[in-house]
Structure 1
């Protein structure tokens, strides 16, 4: 089953040069970064890497989805943060795969309420919908 957008409101465009050891830039000039594999994957560790960019996008998007859910539930998420930890490694099939751990700190809510909101946000977030069934994603309150 795939989830298809019904009414696309925005399309981000970015172009990579030299893959994981080069540069990525958006068409509007807002993003222009040097990318390099981390030292753990044989790179220099200079610049950023695709996993950091994915973690940044996922954490920001999930935080917004949490806000949507919290408004509907009339829950106070002031001061909340979402951290995305994106891991990369070899798969048994010989390629590479990702895994994600989403960790949310929601200081104004009890753990049960926070977990409920996170599960609902996980159903709303476009990144969660895109990765569901493809990679391991865990969601936790910290």
Structure 2
């Protein structure tokens, strides 16, 4: 009888932290940003300091607005949050791709509301959203 040398708890934590499914279960381990889901294009935050964050593009409502599902197990959950495009007023990190954002870059941010959402200062680069779902231009 062979005894496993791998601690099941440590393996579970490692799989959860990596954001990937178990490869021996036949799961696709390609980048989450390149996979589509039934509800839209899904992408997990690739920033190593935010492993608890999952951001999904649900729908592009217009060229200036999108609907985002924001799941942060440490602070908030927004199942269908409207985000608008603007120029970044401050530098930061893209919540979707982990890329740096410079002041003036085109970004999406949560729509202003009262009370202010917990993720009100989050930003997603317009180019990161376009990489997972390019804007469709209808031809009339």
TM-score, scaled to structure 1: 0.27
Compare the two structures and name the one with the higher strand fraction. 2
TM-score, scaled to structure 2: 0.27
Q: Specify which structure has the bigger relative contact order, considering alpha-carbon pairs within 8 angstroms and separated by 6 or more residues.
A: 1
Compare the two structures and name the one with the higher helix fraction. 1
